[in-house]
C-alpha cells in the first residue's frame, strides 16, 4: 500500500485551521496550523529567505506588522479557500 493511501485510510480528516506570519531579519516566516481529529495538531513553517520588503507590500503584507494586526492579505484568502476545498473533498470521500 502506498504511503498516501495508508494515511488517507488512517486519518481520513485533515484540517487546515489557520496561518500566521512574521518578518524575522530579512526572512518571511509563514506558519500553518493543522489538525487531525481527535487529538493531533501541528504547525508547519515555511521560511522565505532574503525577502524584499517592497515586494511584501505589493502583495499586502506590511513588513513591520504581524498578521493579527493587519489581517490576511487577499492572496492568503485564496490559499485558505483552496485548503478548505481540499479538506471538504477529503471529508466527502470518507462517507
**Where in the sequence is the domain holding 24, given as residue range(s)?**
3-94
Are residues 32 and 41 in contact, defined by beta-carbon separation less than 8 angstroms?
A: no
**pLDDT tens digits along 32-89:** 889 999 999 999 998 988 887 777 777 676 655 444 555 555 455 556 555 655 555 5
What total number of domains does the chain contain? 1
pTM exceeds 0.75: no
Q: What's the 3-state SS for 38-77?
A: CCEEEEEEEEECCCCHHHHHHCCCCCCCCHHHHCCCHHHH
Amino acid at each position: 500500500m502506498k504511503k498516501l493511501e495508508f494515511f488517507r485510510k488512517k486519518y481520513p480528516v485533515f484540517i487546515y485551521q489557520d496561518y500566521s506570519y512574521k518578518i524575522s531579519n530579512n526572512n518571511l516566516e509563514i506558519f500553518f496550523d493543522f489538525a487531525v481529529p481527535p487529538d493531533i495538531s501541528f504547525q508547519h513553517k515555511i521560511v522565505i529567505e532574503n525577502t524584499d520588503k517592497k515586494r511584501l507590500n505589493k502583495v499586502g503584507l506590511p513588513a513591520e506588522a504581524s498578521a493579527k494586526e493587519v489581517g490576511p492579505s487577499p492572496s492568503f484568502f485564496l490559499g485558505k479557500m483552496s485548503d478548505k476545498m481540499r479538506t471538504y473533498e477529503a471529508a466527502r470521500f470518507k462517507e
